[in-house]
Structure 1
Amino acid sequence: MPTALVTGVAGFIGSNLADALLDRGYNVRGIDNFATGREQNLKGLHDAANFSFHEMDVRDADTMADVSTGVDYVFHQAADSSVPRSIDDPVTTSDVNCTGTATVIDTARKADVDTVVVASSAAVYGSTEQFPKVESMPEQPESPYALSKYYTEKLALQASDLYDIDTAALRYFNIFGPRQDPNGDYAAVIPKFISLMLDGERPVIYGDGEQSRDFTFIEDAVQANIRAAEGDATGEAFNVGTGGRITVNELVDALNDHLGTDLDPVYDDPRPGDVRHSHADISKAREHLDYEPTVDFATGLGRTIPYYS
C-alpha cells in the first residue's frame, strides 16, 4: 500500500485529492497551516484509519523532513493561490510558493521519495493572444502569483535532472467544484458567483465579461494528479483543463439557468494581472498521462451548486 503526502490538504484541491487517494487504498499524510485551508474540508478525512494530519508549514524544513520519511508520492498543493492577493502582497506569495516548493522538493529527494507532483497554473502563459495554450509556448507570467508558479514548476522539473526523483508539474486551468472557498475578496469566480446569486445578489464582473476560462471540474484535476504520480512521465509540465472555454458572461447565464434566477451582472474595471483568455490544449496530457476529462462544464456546475446551497 503506497504512502502519499498531500500538502495543502485542507484546501479545495488537496482535500478532494486526499479523498480519492484514500479510496484508492493509499496511506495519506496531510499537512496544512490553515492560512487559506479550512478545517471543515478535513471532516471526512479524519474518520479514515489510514489518514493522518499534521498542522504545519511547508517552509519548515525540519518538520517537512519528518513527514516525508517513508513517503512514496508527494502531491504539492499548498500555495498562496490568488492573483489579486499576490499583487497586494508579493512578498508573502513569493515566500509561500517559492521557498515552500524548494523545501518540499529538497526534503522529498533526501527522503528518497519516488515522485513529486506540483501544482502549477495556466497563469504562467500570460495574456498571449494564441490559444489554446500549448506547453511548448513561451511563458509570460504577468503577476507575482504567476511568476511564483513559473518558479514552482521549473524548480520541480529541474529536480528530475539533478536528483534521483521523478517530477511533474500540472498547469491547472480554473479548477472548480465542491469545497472551494466562496468568501473574501480573493475568492474564485464560480463559488463567489454561486454564493452571491443564491442570496439574490448580482455578481460583479471585472471587465466586459467576454474574457474566457477553461473551467475544469475538480474530479479531473484529481485524476491528472494520480496519473502523473503513478505514470512514467517525468520532468514535464502538463496542461490540466477540458480543451474548451466559457466566457464569464456565459457563466452568469448558466448559473441563472441552474438557480432559476434572473440576475444581471454588475460590470467593473478590469483587474490588473487577470489574463484575457484561458484555454488549454490537453493533447500532451492525453498522450503521456492518459488523461481524459470526464465531467463537462454543465454537469460540473450541477454537482457544485448543491454544496453551496
Structure 2
Amino acid sequence: MYSILITGGAGFIGSNLCEFFLNKGHRVTCLDNFATGFKDNISSYLDNANFTLIEGDIRNFETCLVAVKNVDFVLHQAALGSVPRSIKDPITSNEVNVSGFLNMLEASRLAKVKRFIYAASSSTYGDSESLPKVEEVIGNPLSPYAVTKYVNELYASVYGKIYGLETIGLRYFNVFGRRQDPNGAYAAVIPLFVKKLMSYESPIVNGDGNFSRDFTYIDNVIQMNELAIETSNPLALNTVFNTAVGDRTTLNDLLTILKRALSKYDEKIADVPIIHGPNRAGDIPHSLASIDKAKAILGYNPQYKLSEGIEEAIEWYWKNS
C-alpha cells in the first residue's frame, strides 16, 4: 500500500486518479481548493477510511507542507488549465501553475517524498512544426499557459539535479472522458461539443475544422500515472513523457465521430448543423505525439483509441445529463 497525494484531486483527471488508486487499496489524500474541481466528483470517497480530503490552495506553502506529510508519491494535477484563460488572466495562471507548482516541489523535497509525478502539457511544444512531437524537440510557447507548463518542467529538472528529488513529467495531450466538465467559459472541446449536440445546438468550430489533435482517453492517462509510480527504470526519472495515443484527428472528423456516437441515443442529433468561427489565439494547428519513449521506458500500451474512448465518454455524459 502506498500513500499518494493527488493535488487537484476533485478535478476531472484528479478524481479519476483518486478513484483508481483507492480501488487498488492505496491511501489517497486529495488536495483541492475547488476553483475548477467539484465536491461531487469525490463525494463517494469521503466515507472511505483510506481517503483524506484537504480543502486548500497550493499557493499556500503551509497547506502544501501539511498535504505531503507521510506521503510516498505526489501526483500533481492542480493547475489552471486553458490557453484562453491564461491569455485573459496571465497573473493568476502564473500564481497557480508556477508558484503553486514550486510550493509543491519544495514541500515534497522537505518531506522526502519518494517521487513527484506531475501533469505537464503538450502546449510546451509551442510553435514547433515537427510531427510527431518528440519529447526532446520543442518550440517557443504560444500562450502564458504554455510558458507556465514549460517552467514546471524546468523546475522539476533542477530539483532532480540539485536536490535528488525523483520527478516524472507527463505531457498530456487533449485528455477527455468521464467527469470532464462541459460547462463554463473554458470547457474542453469534447465535453463542450457533446453538451451542444445533446441540446440540438450547433457547435462552433474555431477555424475551418482542419486543426488536429491527439485526443487521449482518461484511462490511458491513468495507466501512465500508475506506470510512473511503479517504474524502477532509472531512465524514467527526471524526464518527461508524452501521454497520448499517437494518432491525430481533425475537429471536423471529431464532430463526425461524436454525432455518430450520440445518434445511437437520439437520431435527431445527426442533423444538428456545425458553425465555423475564427481561429483562436494561441492555438497550435496540429498536435500528434510520438509515444515511443513511453513505450520503451515505461512499458506504456494505450488501451483506448479515440472511437473507443468516445463511446465510453458518451455513455457517461448521457447517463449524467
TM-score class, shorter: over 0.9
Q: How many residues align structurally?
A: 309
Q: Moved runs in structure 1, 4+ residues, more than 6 A? A: none
- Assess if the C-alpha contact under 8 Å between 1:127 and 1:277 holds in 2: no
Determine if the alignment matches structure 1 residue 259 to structure 2 residue 268: no
| SS of residue in 1 equivalent to 2:157 | helix
For the pair 1:289 / 2:292, whether they are aligned, the reply is no
The RMSD of aligned alpha carbons is: 1.0
Query: What TM-score, normalized to structure 1?
Result: 0.98
Counterpart-to-counterpart distance in 2, 1:124 and 1:100: 18
Deviation at 1:262, TM superposition (A): 2.2
Question: Counterparts of 1:271-290 in structure 2 under 5 Å?
Answer: 271-290=280-299
Give 1:140-219 correspondences, 5 Å limit.
140-219=140-219
Secondary structure at the aligned position of 2:167 is classed as strand
Moved more, 94-103 or 22-31: 22-31
Q: Distance in 2 between matches of 1:140 and 1:292?
A: 30
Gaps of 5+ in 1: none
Of residues 142-151 and 257-266 in structure 1, the stretch that sits farther from structure 2 once superposed is: 257-266
Alpha-carbon distance in 1 for matches of 2:230, 2:103: 23
- 1:21 aligns to 2:21 (yes or no): yes
Match of 1:241 in 2: 244
Q: Does 1:111 align with 2:120?
A: no
Q: Secondary structure at the match of 1:52?
A: strand
Q: State the percentage of identical aligned residues.
A: 43
Deviations 1:227-281 (A, max 9, x none): 1122132110100000000000001111111112222210001110011001000
Given residue 42 of structure 2, which amino acid in structure 1 is its aligned partner? Answer: L
Task: Give, as a single letter, the amino acid of the residue that structure 1 aligns with 2:112.
Answer: D
Aligned-pair CA distance for 1:2: 1.1
Does the CA contact (< 8 Å) of 2:127 and 2:139 recur in 1?
no
Q: Distance in 2 between matches of 1:156 and 1:81?
A: 19
Q: CA shift at 1:44, angstroms? A: 2.2
| TM-superposed deviation, 1:184 | 1.5
Task: Report the equivalent of 1:2.
Answer: 2
CA distance in 2, matches of 1:177, 1:203: 18
1:46 is displaced (CA, Å) by 1.6
* Paired residue type of 1:105: L
> Comparing 54-63 with 42-51, which one deviates more in the overlay?
42-51
Separation (CA, whole Å) in 1 of partners of 2:74 and 2:109: 10
TM-score, normalised via structure 2 length = 0.94
Q: 2:136 matched to which residue of 1?
A: 136
CA distance in structure 2 between the aligned counterparts of 1:66 and 1:139, rounded to whole angstroms? 37
